[in-house]
Amino acid sequence: MPPWIRRHGKTAWARVLAPFVAAQWDADDIAEALRDYAIGHYVLSSPRNALGYLRSILNTFDLQDRPAAIIRAEAAARDTERRAKQEQLRTEWAARNASAAGENSPGRQAARQVIEEIKRRPKRWR
């Protein structure tokens, strides 16, 4: 955010941003609009009328086309994809655990016997 945004209080900014709030814009939309504007335009470092300057910048955007909507949609898509991968992993783990040998299966008993034999062997020092 440009430093000149801090010059005015919340009441003044509320008046300037009222139409955007009515269109359900939030802070992310305002910040993204400023970033988008700065890509193709020079942003003044210290405008005389910061309130009017910001309003003129924001007026270049369509009220119904929220700038951060694409970012939110991409984040939601990533979250959905991540959740689908997690669910797939849980399904694979459940299938693997279901097909695992029981606690007292012959293979596990044989493995325990081998481990006990190894423990009883004398330790060799090098």
Which pLDDT belongs to residue 126?
A: 59
Q: What's phi and psi for 23, nearest 5 deg?
A: -90, 10
Q: Got the DSSP string for 54-79?
A: HHHHHTTS-TTS-TTHHHHHHHHHHH
Q: What is the pLDDT of residues 75-121, one digit of tens each?
A: 999 999 999 999 999 999 999 888 887 888 888 899 999 999 999 98
Question: Does residue 54 or residue 2 have the better pLDDT?
Answer: 54
Tell me which residue of 21, 19, 17, 61 sits closest to 39, measured CA to CA.
61
Model-level pTM? 0.59
